[in-house]
Amino acid sequence: MRLAYIPSFGIIIFRITSVLALMDVIYMGGEQQGR
């Protein structure tokens, strides 16, 4: 059961990291375009 929990936990972390990275790129891109 724990072996099935580890991959799902990794996927959650991967998705969170991807969303944060995507927001960071959009924020920096918008800031550069604004200025």
Mean pLDDT on 9-34:
84
Query: Which carries the bigger pLDDT value, residue 27 or residue 16?
Result: 16
Contacts of 18 (CB under 8 A, 6+ apart): none
pLDDT digits (tens, 9 = 90+) for 24-35: 888 887 776 655
Q: Can you give the pLDDT at residue 15?
A: 92
Residue 2 tokens, joined: 């724990």
**Average pLDDT across the chain, whole number:** 79
Q: Tell me the pLDDT band of 1, cut-offs 50, 70 and 90.
A: low
Q: Is the dihedral of CA 20, 24, 30, 34 positive or negative?
A: positive
CA separation for the pair 31, 13 (Å, rounded): 27
Q: Which residues of 1-35 are buried (b: 16+ CB within 10 A; e: fewer)?
A: eeeeeeeeeeeeeeeeeeeeeeeeeeeeeeeeeee
